Amino acid sequence: MKKVFAITLGILTAIGGFVDIGDLVANALIGSRYAFALAWVVPIGVLGICLYAEMCGRVAAISGRPVFDVIRERLGPRLALANLAASLLVTGLTLAAEIGGVALAMELATSVNYLLWVPLVGVLVWIVIWRVKFQHMETAFGLLGLFLVVFAVAWWKLGPHWGNVLHQVTHPALPPNEGLPTYLYYAIALFGAAMTPYEVFFFSSGAVEEHWRRNDLTVMRANVFVGFPLGGLLSLAIMGTAALVLFPLGVQVDSLGQVALPVVVALGKIGLAVVLVGIFAATFGAALETGLSVGYTAAQFFGWQWGKLVRPLNAARFHVFTLISLLGGVLLIMTTLDPIKVTEYSIVFSAVALPLTYLPILIVANDKDYVGDRVNGRIANALGMIYLVIVVAASAAAIPLMIATKAGQ
**Residue ranges that bind another protein, judged by CB under 8 A:** 63-65, 69, 72-73, 76-78, 80-81, 130-134, 299-306, 308, 310-314, 316-317, 319-320, 369-370
User: Cβ closer to another protein: 33 or 65?
Assistant: 65
**What are the start-end ranges of the E strands in 222-336?**
none
State how far the Cα of 74 lies from the Cα of 196, in Å rounded to an integer.
21
User: Cβ closer to another protein: 170 or 305?
Assistant: 305
Q: How far is the CB of 202 from another protein (least distance, A)?
A: 17
| Dihedral angle over CA of 238, 172, 41, 345, nearest 10 | -70
User: Cβ closer to another protein: 64 or 119?
Assistant: 64
State how far the Cα of 287 lies from the Cα of 279, in Å rounded to an integer.
12
Q: How far is the CB of 242 from another protein (least distance, A)?
A: 38
Q: How far is the CB of 103 from another protein (least distance, A)?
A: 24
User: Cβ closer to another protein: 81 or 174?
Assistant: 81
Q: How far is the CB of 368 from another protein (least distance, A)?
A: 10
User: Cβ closer to another protein: 3 or 133?
Assistant: 133
Q: How far is the CB of 101 from another protein (least distance, A)?
A: 25
6 with 155: CB under 8 angstroms? no
User: Cβ closer to another protein: 151 or 306?
Assistant: 306
- CA neighbor of 330 nearest in space, from 153, 141, 115, 41: 115
Q: State whether the Cα torsion 189-54-66-126 is positive or negative.
A: positive
Helices (H), 111-157: 114-131, 134-145, 150-157
Q: How far is the CB of 286 from another protein (least distance, A)?
A: 19
User: Cβ closer to another protein: 77 or 268?
Assistant: 77
DSSP 3-state assignment of 188? Answer: helix
Q: How far is the CB of 322 from another protein (least distance, A)?
A: 11
Q: State whether the Cα torsion 239-38-45-288 is positive or negative.
A: negative
State how far the Cα of 204 lies from the Cα of 35, in Å rounded to an integer.
35
- Around 299, how many Cα atoms within 13 Å sit in the side-chain half-sphere? 25
Residues 6+ apart with CB under 8 A from 78: none
